[in-house]
Structure 1
Amino acid sequence: MPFTSRSLLVSFAGCLLYGAPVIADDGNPVSPENSAIFPLKTDAVNSCKVPDKMSKEEEEQQPVLIQADSVEASNNSKAVYKGNVHIIKGRQEIKADSITLHQQENIAIAEGNVDYSSMDMRSTSDKVTTDLTTEDTTMVNTAYNMSCQPIRGTASRVLKTGQEIYQLEDASFTTCPADDNSWRFKASDIELDQSDEWATFYNARFEVLDVPIFYLPYITVPVGDQRKTGVLIPSASLDSKNGFELSVPIYWNIAPNYDATTTINYMEKRGTQLESEFRYLTELGVGTVDLEFLGSDEKFQEKGARWGASWVHSGIFRKHWKFEIDYSQVSDIDYFQDLNSSIGTRDEGQLSQSGEVSYRSQDWDMTMRVRDFQVLVENQTPYRLMPQVEFNYYAPQFYSAFDFNFHSHVSKFATDDETKPSATRVHLEPKLSLPLSGTWWSLTPETSLLYTYYSQEFDKQPEGADGPLDLAHEVSRTIPEVRINGAIYLDSTHRFLGEYLQTLEPKIQYLYVPEVDQSEIYGGTGDGGYDSSKLQLDYYGLFRDRQYSGVDYISSANQFSIGATSRFYDDTYKERMNISFGQILYMDGSGTQSDTDDDKNSSAWAMESDFNYDDYLFYHGGIQYDSNLSELQIANSTLEYRHSAGYVQANYRYVSKNYIDENVPYSNSDNTTTRYGIYQAGILTQYNIGNNWRLRAQYFYDTKEEFMLEALAGVTYLSDCWSFGLTYSDQLISWDSGSTLSTYKPEYESNLMLSIAIRGLGSNTGITSGSATNALGYGRPFYLNN
């Protein structure tokens, strides 16, 4: 019984299978419980939220909303809708030239310009067959877009099983935006699992601009944040160090709290390297194990197999126990210079090998630690700490306003250098302090007693700079210390330059440590020791109570440290500038030493300053000037301009040769390290062009020796589906063999890195820049509050 109308909205009498209603508009009102608005609209379609599981009865009772220009129905078994047909049921929506609805099976067959939408896919097809109850759907000659991931492609046939599983035949797959075919996968079969957020490809080939690049019989890739075992997207690069490089990562989803990534890294000039990262999360904490192995380095065959390993762990157990592990080791000292590695960086100069376990309570804590180093230079044998047990006790206000602290440790030092002693050291340090303060002042007098016992082991007296030392196998030392630290906080009633609120914070400290003979202790004269080195005397160091790290040498003191800090705040109380300066006054004339005059009674002046102008221009600077010798010892300065698209930074660093000779623990008398000191200037910049392009460059230069230290220039392009990075670096790595600083012949390593990667599959696929890097890089040394 056919009937038609130009804008007919058909009402099909009766119900579909098991009484599922068909709702349409024939000009008569519909009941409120089955009301719908025409043209048909729904908020359920194309929502990424997975719906709650419904019972079979609930699914069957969902209404089927139909709109069409005409309908032909017969015998309550089939209805053919034609002309602008629009059907909605639950989270399915179909638009087509014609749709045939088989009522008994509850199956709709759409033909001609078919637009199909579900909760996670939109597609256009020549033909779509769908079960309106189970949502099982078959599509023919389809172009699809996933709603909840940036995935699109084509397929000769698509089979949708339920709400989340898609099977595609003779299909393509890409995450590039529409009309961008920079890359894609083509495969005989593709499985998309929306619940696991992974895609599986069979007989896949990867194409760039429609040109096949490589073939893989099987590969899985992430399309969301879910983890699943499979081969991840390879990346390729080309540089002058390794030649053509292809990296294929394989991800292993071992358990919810364990996973691993193994990367097969082929390097044209080096061979094939295996890299593995294992991550874990347990009750004892979180950690990562990294391993790298190159069986034979074709570029340096004499170095044999090359490898690197590291283990980093940190965790807290039952609130009180804390575990820390930081262990790294490589096969040879040139490892970081020759290979790109995630184990460490060459500018560190050494790799840490340490571990500690601590127990902490409110009043006390105890820590046991071991520590060693792999030094990445020749002929250096540092001391191993095997082990150290440290105990600390805290008793604030244990008597009236007095605070009591107790610090102690027992340490065992060992070394492979037979010319140095090994030792067991016991150190006890009780401290009593009285912190006093008011609204505009603070004063803290404190006294400590430092007791240290050494058991030193050596076969013959170790050699010092002036001959054999006079060490004792057993020696103890007791040193008292008195320290008084006070400060005043003043606000100006007048605004600086009529705009800024200024504060002045004068500070003074008195420190007394009697002179005690410590020559029987290794390092007891201030030259090194088991774990001691001289600290830099910048402004913040003026108010320390020690000149050396560690306790092998406690320098005597009878001195006043004086200084002041002035801060400037704007109307919002944001700190815009500060300047600090100070000096130590020695009561016993133990300051600057001179070859012709007696020791002076003051240290070098130290000054630090920071400046922020309108949140786009920043400055930091610091100097140490010895007025006794009229010599500038140390200076550093950094000026940075920031804008919405990037930054430009210029910096300069200076250290006098005299300062190096007096404070560096090795001799520089033959000028093998430096002839003039450090005169280092650098400029760094980064500029972003739009949302896609990033330019960066840096250049460091020795202004005294007049040669380049390092240079780097790079450009990166990032789009929604691929990235491109080109980076050139040139680094000073050594001098010619046999050359001295009087005949400089610097050797450089030049590296050109080209990186190309696809983006959009998982969170770690895209490469943001070439991997060429420099030891001297960007720093942000600004220390303003707020």
Structure 2
Amino acid sequence: MLKTIPWLLLLLPLTKSYAEQETIQQTDNETESAIENSELLTEEQIISPRNRNEFLRQCYIRVPAQVPSTETRPDEQIPVNIDALSVSGSKAKFIYQDDVYLKQGDKNLSADKMTYFVDQERATAEGNVNFVNGELTLYSDDLETNLNNDQTTLNQADYQFHGQGGRGTADRIYDNGLDLYELNASSYTACPPEDTTWRLDATTLYIDNTEEMGSAYNAVLRVKDVPVFYFPYISYPLTDKRKTGLLFPSVEYANTNGFTYTQPLYINIAPNMDATITPTYMQNRGTKLAAEYRYLFDSGKGSLQGEYLGNDKIRGYDRYLYHWDHNVSFGQGWNFNAKYNKVSDDYYFTDLDTEYGDRSDNQLLQTAKLSYRQESWNSELEVRDFQILGSGDTPHSVMPKLAFSAYRPIDWKSLQLDLYSEITQFGHDDEDVYTGTRIHIEPKLSLPLYYNSMFVNTELKYMLSFYEQDLPDSNKESWYSDLERTVTRNLPSFKINSGVNFERDFSFMGSNYRQTLVPQVQYLYVPYQNQSAIGTYDTTSLQQDYYGLFRDNRYSGYDRIADANQVTLGISSSFLDNNGKEKMRFAIGQNYYIESSKVHLPDSDNISETSRSSLVGEFDMNFKNNYFVHAGIEWDTDNNQIKRANATLEKRWLYNTFAQVNYRYLGFSEDNELAIDEDEVVNQLGAKANWSINSQWTAFASYYHDLEYNQTFESIIGVQYQSCCWAVGLTIDEHMLAYYGDLSDITSTRETEQSIKLNIELMGLGGVGFSSGDQGLFDYGRPFYLK
């Protein structure tokens, strides 16, 4: 069943959405695993902000644990035991006085005086009345109960729910005997005992345990006894049961949008579907209306989202967003998934907050795929398109692609036959851009052989492609003149890869390790064929890394198949400790060309006559358990130039506490194709940190600076405080807005956004006040192979 955050969930902790529930469960599992595999944890580690559930359990350590009743008999069949220092009375009435104690199953009642009226089957208790069962503790001045109908009244009562945050007072509590309670002149707080930072006062409060619903009239939210909000009427679920109603609003302030107020309305449609309608008022832009519909089935789930802002007062035009995410499996082997994202303009994610994109997005996927899978073959039917944000080239759309793959082992050693085939129709929004249909068939024979520590893998394949292209009457690009309406291409490919796995045990600084060393050599041959008559539909250069040196083709897709007559040499090594944990790994390799490749992408420089590729190296290390280092480099040894480099140093602690410094450089692409101009070089230094100062305080920061242009892309610093009763977060954020112009003018034309955001949360009551709701331009990256 779907779940959502109720507006005021007075008697139980807040319920998260079904997606968030999975995250919470995963966090609990990670915590339990950490506890099992570590020494005794400190208080700061146990109740740090990452493990919110554990923190809340520590908060209510003085609250009695919840003990479900094991009694299956009705109350009238359970014997009642009464102890008292003094007993008096007659046939009509019995009076128990001084240290009166009554026990019936898991129910316990104590009082100074208790009177039982035999004929009326009515009982009263007076003076220091204390009632306790597995769910609740009640203190009252007096109590009256009717044993015939179980109706009970308590006056001047205090209550505390067990195992959770939920306590308060009431002038009068009435129980109708049917799990319906009425509380008059009552108060409620989820704060632990001895802490009442906030409370909710209500004239009348109803709790219906049968319907699992509660409602309150004339409710006032007070913080430190100061009234801050008034609710004429509210209703809320007592458990995970969902209910239509208003969710908590949020407000924020930023220098561009000004004051912003968001008020969600939740609609419970059915046990497996719901909707949320969210109007958002922005002082400087107008009102945005968002609607989300979620559905959940045994075979899959999905969501639909739409947002609309009419006549943005800053941009001067209408803004909208569409989102659809669907994944369902049906029958045996059938699956259908779809992702569709579309926004009205390039700056939607920069200007407006939404959970379906962030301001670093520049490409939105629009695809749907129907697939069928069996043990030895599978097929799929796909349509695919993109929305490009900014000034980038719009790619071809796939409308549609039908693909078939099969695998069959042959009864000779480990010989196997693979077949891949597809027929794809490519379209384009621009009539001046070519379109076409591609048929590609690729059978492959492979023979993987393993001899103790040695391996030899051999592959032979044949690639047959046929293109039928629709060419524009006027050439948009000069190279279009090379295109032909029909093209047939057939190319064989031969590859043999061999290597040896060496191992040795050794000791270093008192510790035992095992080192693996894997040198390998590969020969690849693909004959040359002129492919300039073929358009580029889904093909681009691939970024080179160590494992990429052993690819069959340096391009993605099938529109360009690079000729090759080359040898690849590489060596990799790993160091493992006694527990089999990888502590260090490095790899280095290079391609050596017997003949230089002649195939290249349109509008790129001709391939230079070089005898070898760049030298590619990668290094990862984990030392002292929580320190990690990563480095990678692509070095043009012929021209003594660094094409690409990156490095990261990180220190980790438990529960997502870390400090990281990273650097990345990108100067030239592989083989100088699509070489980046000098004003497009990436030369960037960044840092991220998330620090649990103690059990209640957490600080975080993010900073990214471009050394080439001397510009700061992002600067964020924040602090969070969490107590058992309330939490507050303050964030100061300055970041560069999306820029789609000439990079050489970035210094003089860049725009930045500054904001100071405050987030306040009352535990057990949901968030109120300001909402931070933003994410940085650069997500946290964990670029380590080691785990």
Instruction: Give TM-score scaled by structure 2 length.
Output: 0.86
CA pair 599-196 structure 1, distance change in 2 beyond 3 A: farther
Q: After the TM superposition, which of the residue ranges 126-135 and 443-452 deviates more from structure 2? A: 126-135
- State the secondary structure of the residue aligned to 1:770: coil
Shift of 1:530: 0.6
Shift of 1:516: 0.6
1:139 matched to 2:154? The reply is yes
1:577 pairs, out of 584, 598, 604, with 584
Per the alignment, residue 114 of structure 1 pairs with 129
Per the alignment, residue 614 of structure 2 pairs with 604
2: CA distance between counterparts of 1:597 and 1:317? 49
2:328 pairs, out of 299, 311, 315, with 315
1:491 matched to 2:503? The reply is yes
- State the secondary structure of the residue aligned to 2:101: strand
CA pair 140-242 structure 1, distance change in 2 beyond 3 A: farther
CA contact (8 A) 1:149 1:223 kept: no
| Runs (5+) with no aligned partner, structure 2 | 1-63
CA contact (8 A) 1:718 1:768 kept: no
1:355 matched to 2:371? The reply is no
2:530 pairs, out of 517, 525, 529, with 517
Letter in 2 for 1:381: T
1: CA distance between counterparts of 2:75 and 2:746? 88
Per the alignment, residue 756 of structure 2 pairs with 752
1:237 matched to 2:252? The reply is yes
1:533 matched to 2:529? The reply is no
CA pair 272-597 structure 1, distance change in 2 beyond 3 A: closer
Letter in 1 for 2:503: D
1:65 matched to 2:81? The reply is yes
1:474 pairs, out of 483, 486, 490, with 486
CA contact (8 A) 2:249 2:768 kept: no
Per the alignment, residue 686 of structure 2 pairs with 682
CA pair 398-368 structure 1, distance change in 2 beyond 3 A: farther
Q: After the TM superposition, which of the residue ranges 684-693 and 239-248 deviates more from structure 2? A: 239-248
2:785 pairs, out of 777, 783, 786, with 783
Letter in 2 for 1:433: S
**How is 1:207-226 mapped onto 2 (pairs within 5 angstroms)?**
207-226=222-241
1:567 pairs, out of 551, 561, 574, with 574
2: CA distance between counterparts of 1:79 and 1:46? 34
CA pair 402-597 structure 1, distance change in 2 beyond 3 A: closer
CA contact (8 A) 1:482 1:511 kept: yes
**How is 1:603-622 mapped onto 2 (pairs within 5 angstroms)?**
603-622=613-632
- The C-alpha deviation readout for 1:448-483, integer Å capped at 9, x for no partner, is 11111111112326344x554221111111111111
CA contact (8 A) 1:398 1:404 kept: no
CA contact (8 A) 2:437 2:467 kept: yes
2: CA distance between counterparts of 1:233 and 1:105? 48
1: CA distance between counterparts of 2:134 and 2:158? 17
Shift of 1:363: 1.3
1: CA distance between counterparts of 2:70 and 2:151? 16
Shift of 1:359: 0.6
Q: How many residues align?
A: 719
CA pair 404-162 structure 1, distance change in 2 beyond 3 A: farther
CA contact (8 A) 2:264 2:279 kept: yes
- State the secondary structure of the residue aligned to 1:542: helix
Shift of 1:591: 9.9
1:423 matched to 2:436? The reply is yes
Shift of 1:191: 2.0
CA contact (8 A) 2:669 2:676 kept: no
Higher RCO (Cα < 8 Å, 6 or more apart): 2
**How is 1:366-515 mapped onto 2 (pairs within 5 angstroms)?**
366-378=379-391, 380-397=393-410, 399-460=412-473, 462-464=475-477, 467-495=479-507, 499=511, 500-515=513-528
Shift of 1:116: 1.8
Per the alignment, residue 664 of structure 2 pairs with 653
Q: After the TM superposition, which of the residue ranges 564-573 and 769-778 deviates more from structure 2? A: 769-778
2: CA distance between counterparts of 1:345 and 1:71? 74
Shift of 1:149: 3.6
CA pair 190-319 structure 1, distance change in 2 beyond 3 A: farther
Shift of 1:576: 0.3
**How is 1:19-418 mapped onto 2 (pairs within 5 angstroms)?**
47-49=66-68, 54=73, 58-75=74-91, 77-132=92-147, 135-162=150-177, 164-194=179-209, 197-300=212-315, 302-304=316-318, 306-378=319-391, 380-397=393-410, 399-418=412-431
Letter in 1 for 2:274: D
2: CA distance between counterparts of 1:167 and 1:502? 71
CA contact (8 A) 1:434 1:445 kept: yes
CA pair 738-783 structure 1, distance change in 2 beyond 3 A: closer
Instruction: Give TM-score scaled by structure 1 length.
Output: 0.86
1: CA distance between counterparts of 2:358 and 2:610? 42
Shift of 1:735: 6.2
- State the secondary structure of the residue aligned to 2:349: helix
- State the secondary structure of the residue aligned to 1:777: coil
CA contact (8 A) 2:257 2:283 kept: yes
- The C-alpha deviation readout for 1:26-47, integer Å capped at 9, x for no partner, is xxxxxxxxxxxxxxxxxxx985
2: CA distance between counterparts of 1:453 and 1:392? 18
1: CA distance between counterparts of 2:598 and 2:741? 41
CA pair 119-416 structure 1, distance change in 2 beyond 3 A: same
CA pair 718-616 structure 1, distance change in 2 beyond 3 A: same
CA contact (8 A) 1:149 1:224 kept: no
- Percent identity of paired positions between Structure 1 and Structure 2: 37
Letter in 2 for 1:139: L
CA pair 600-166 structure 1, distance change in 2 beyond 3 A: same
Q: After the TM superposition, which of the residue ranges 135-144 and 440-449 deviates more from structure 2? A: 135-144
- State the secondary structure of the residue aligned to 1:336: helix
Shift of 1:398: 5.2
CA contact (8 A) 1:592 1:600 kept: no
Shift of 1:771: 2.2
1:772 pairs, out of 750, 774, 780, with 774
2: CA distance between counterparts of 1:170 and 1:468? 81
CA pair 468-278 structure 1, distance change in 2 beyond 3 A: closer
